[in-house]
Amino acid sequence: MKEKILNAFKSLGFELEEIDDFGHAFMYEGINYIWMSNTDDENFLSIGVPAILDKPDEEVLFYQLVDKFNGTLKYIKLNIVGDSLWMFYERELFGGEEDLEEPVSRMIVQLEMAFRYFKKLSREVQESDNEEDEDESHVIISDTDVIDEEQNK
């Protein structure tokens, strides 16, 4: 099956670069992708976009972004790998005589669209947080003021 997948990528015009026992890297529309070959299950196809975002110190917005993205899209999911966020499209292959060019090309195009959506969503989440920060700047009593008053009683 690995040879069939490699042939599908080649027939679609992709130049794959093998990455030490990890998979094969390629580029499409300025985005880096990785096809991760699975030796335990050759009928499993996983294409990912690595390290689309480093995990920040402020994790609340990070997890809000991941949750909103994963709740919106059906086949493409965000996963934390190490200290960064990766995007994956995974599916089962049905072996035999399945034409792999069609699912591979569809997966890549949908990952590209999802990457663009992720960038847009990321900006929206950040802007929403900035608006909330501006709203809170008008608060007269903060949580710390209330705690300080309670401790002085």
Per-residue pLDDT of the chain (153 residues; tens, 9 = 90+): 888 899 999 999 999 999 987 889 999 999 999 999 888 888 889 999 999 999 988 888 899 999 999 999 999 999 999 999 999 999 988 766 678 999 999 999 999 999 999 999 999 988 887 766 554 444 444 454 445 555 555
Between CA 5 and CA 92 the distance in angstroms is 12
Residue 38 near residue 46 (C-beta atoms within 8 A): yes
DSSP code, position 34: E
**Which domains are present in the chain?**
2-151 (3.30.1460.10)
Q: How far does Cα 96 stand from its chain's mean position?
A: 30
Beta carbons of 48 and 88 less than 8 angstroms apart: yes
* pTM of the predicted protein model: 0.80
Q: What are the residues whose beta carbons fall under 8 Å from the beta carbon of 23, sequence distance 6 or more?
A: 34, 35, 36, 37
